Structure 1
Amino acid sequence: MIRYHLEPSDVSAIRFGISPLSELGLGLRAFRAPDRYPLQQPWLDRIAAVRPLLDDEVLLGLVDERRWVADFVNPRPTSPLTSFDEELRALGRLPRARIVADLERVHDTVPPVFTGRHEAVVERLQQALATAWELCFAPHWARMRAVLQADISHRARTAAHAGIGAVLGGLSEAVRYDGTDLDVQLTSPVARDRPIGGEGLTLVPSMFVVRASVPIDDDLPPTVMYPARGQGAMWSTSGHPDAGSVRDLLGATRAALLEALGEPASSTDLALRFGVSTSAVNQHLRVMERGGLLNRSRYGRAVLYYRSTVGDALTRS
């Protein structure tokens, strides 16, 4: 367990973030132990054809059988718009001592693939991560990011209505908050205390965290990675369900969109799920928003839509 001690000023500085590189790093857990991530099995099936093209010696060398991942591939996001390329360049600037220390915390030694001239090791590491991103994550990132953004939007609304304590206590069954201390239950039996001390606490939703994760190195900035909501529906495909009177009122497409927006989603994600153009989805969403059936909120450059109370009542009719 790790206990993060929060002063009042620390609570007010809590923020959310999304890290593409961290999501890739945590995704290596599913490579190592796919049975632990049943919700992501459709993704693993989709990328199976390209897996032989990956540098598995490097990628699997970043995670061990406990599913611990080297901290340098789990960076704390610096902004809501952090890009994979920016994070990969920052990784390339890390000194050898940092990479070695992070690997030793995972494996108690440095795997042979990471020994040798530092520049060559970093170059191969960056290439392996870039290839994994291009083949396995980039084609599906719009959908993954929409789920992560929807989670943040939901928790922001929770904070507005019920306070940050409700958000912290609802991150995961492995996280407890008593108003001062945030306890995160981990697989490691070693109890650790970590004052925030003005460094800020960042909350990072992930598709590849079952309970909760934190940096292995306590000297790194305080971060809690937790399971994102709505993963179960991420790979589902939407047909045209018979919505009865709602379908007669709205038409099949708008009725199906309204049904799908029980969880916040972007027009890009909806277009992927329904197999139509983003512009067509946007037209429907704007009409339903003007009619009071949907709310929307902005996160970074994305606009997330979700059912209003009127829309909820209509779907229950």
Structure 2
Amino acid sequence: MGRNLVRFRIGATDISSIRFGISPGHELCHAVRVLQNPPDHPLQWGWLRSVRSAMPRGAFGVLRTVIGPEGYFPDFLTSTPTWDMAPADEVERLRRVPAESVRADLTKVLARSEGLRHRIVADMFAHPERTRDQVADAWEEVWEAALAPHWPQIRRLISADIDLRVRRVGVDGVAAMVGSLHGSVAWHRDAIEIEMRKHSEEVDCEGSGVVLVPSVMSTPRCSVLTERPAQPTLFYPVLGLSASWTQERSAVEEALVELLGSGRARALLSLDGPRSTSEVADACATAVSTASHHLTILRKAQLVHSRRDGTRMLHARTPLGEALLGAGA
């Protein structure tokens, strides 16, 4: 039996249009799925423990019905990801979605649902404006309870992943970078191929390129967005995510000292943004030579990457370093 593959056909003009984006809506939709199926998401158990008791049941019920436990969820819940997409922008866009778009997406949900869910979605389909407003209110309420407290750390993990991928383009090229995104992703001749569980499709990018979107909440699988007018989009799990990504800072610092030693732990914790060697030394109250030694060891362990900026060497945490520190970063 053949594999299920989505192929993004890439032309010469598409290569120059491949870019990265961030999607708060995608993170929220997958957070709702994590809450529905905790055993499938062990890396999110720490997050689950921290948010489950605060979850607004009514709002969560609305999103759970629309999103479902797996497979397709309505495209109107997310917009084309951009680098500067903020949660407030996402929910405001959701409130302006045309009623015909709501109905078009709910038609697909109806075809994939049965029983009580089918009856509830049928009522939603009959009242698209009311449904849009209800879903937007639920989106905002669940976001505040589930992801707002963790969004700074999620944003750091995503940004670190993108930074690492961009550097790989400079070293190995676009095809090698894309092929390294996930075990289910490959660049084959003129196409990006993504192995899927159930879905197969050929998508001609037609010069629009592909948006690559790292995700914290969608682990362990990739997903795609293929239907126009949206730009072809590939969502992939962020690199180096660990179960400790939501730990409190005090617990993280104590564990890091035991693992790395106090000097290297302080150096890693000081990198809340790109920092020069002298800035790390000042933050850690140590000599520049000592800071440089610690940073070299951290770089060898792939917890830190460094780049030259004029006469300075700037250091930042890798996705693995961000994941190791968790919410304590």
TM-score range, shorter chain: 0.7 to 0.9
Secondary structure of 1:231's match?
A: coil
| Alignment root-mean-square deviation, CA | 3.1
Change (3 A) 1:288 1:193: farther
Residues 1:178 and 1:169: Cα distance change in structure 2 (over 3 Å) = same
Seen in structure 2, the aligned counterparts of structure 1 residues 284 and 66 have a Cα distance that, compared at 3 Å, is: same
CA pair 288-143 structure 1, distance change in 2 beyond 3 A: farther
Give how far 1:158 is off: 1.0
Matched residues in 2 for 1:17 and 1:172: separation? Answer: 17
SS in 2 for 1:185: strand
Which letter maps to 1:266?
D
- Residue by residue over 1:283-308, the C-alpha shift from the partner in whole angstroms, topping out at 9 and shown as x without a partner, is 527989895436567xxxxx97138x
- Quick one: which of 164, 173, 185 aligns to 1:175? 185
Q: Could you tell me whether the CA contact under 8 Å between 1:295 and 1:305 is conserved in 2?
A: yes
Match of 2:222 in 1: 212
Q: Secondary structure at the match of 1:143?
A: helix
| Percent identity for Structure 1 against Structure 2 | 25
Tell me the residue number matched to 2:246: 235
What's 1:256 paired with?
Answer: 265
Q: Secondary structure at the match of 1:182?
A: strand
2:20 and 2:162 in contact (8 A); partners too? yes
The Cα of 1:160 is off from its aligned counterpart by: 1.0
Q: Does 1:58 align with 2:62?
A: yes
Decide whether aligned partners of structure 1 residues 186 and 13 sit closer, same or farther in structure 2, where only a CA change above 3 A counts. Answer: same
TM norm structure 1: 0.77
Shift of the alpha carbon at 1:282?
10
**Paired residue for 1:82?**
85
**Conserved? CA contact 2:18–2:211, under 8 Å:** yes
Higher mean Cα deviation, 125-134 or 62-71? 62-71
Q: What is the CA-CA distance between 1:130 and the residue it aligns to?
A: 0.3
Greater Cα offset, 1-10 or 102-111: 102-111
- Tell me, yes or no, if structure 1 residue 13 matches structure 2 residue 17: yes
Q: How many angstroms apart in 2 are the aligned matches of 1:8 and 1:49?
A: 50
Match of 2:173 in 1: 163
Relative to structure 1, the CA distance from residue 194 to residue 235 in structure 2 (aligned partners, 3 Å threshold; closer, same or farther) is same
Give the equivalent residue in structure 1 for 2:327: none
Equivalent residue number for residue 33 of structure 1: 37
**Residues 1:202 and 2:201 aligned together:** no
Q: Which deviations, in whole Å up to 9, do the C-alpha atoms of 1:162-197 show, x marking residues without a partner?
A: 1111111011111111231111111224x3111111
Tell me the equivalent position of 1:100: 103
Matching residue's letter, 1:94: V
- The reply on whether 1:284 has 2:283 as its aligned counterpart is yes
Distance between the aligned counterparts of 2:85 and 2:305, measured in 1? Answer: 26
Structure 2 spans left out of the alignment, 5+ residues: 296-303, 308-313, 319-329
1:242 Cα deviation after fit: 5.2
- Would the alpha carbon gap of residues 131 and 286 (structure 1) be closer, same or farther in structure 2, given more than 3 Å must change? farther
TM-score, scaled relative to structure 2: 0.75
Partner amino acid for 2:211? T
Amino acid at match of 1:9: T
- Alignment coverage as a number of residue pairs: 280
1:7 counterpart letter in structure 2: G
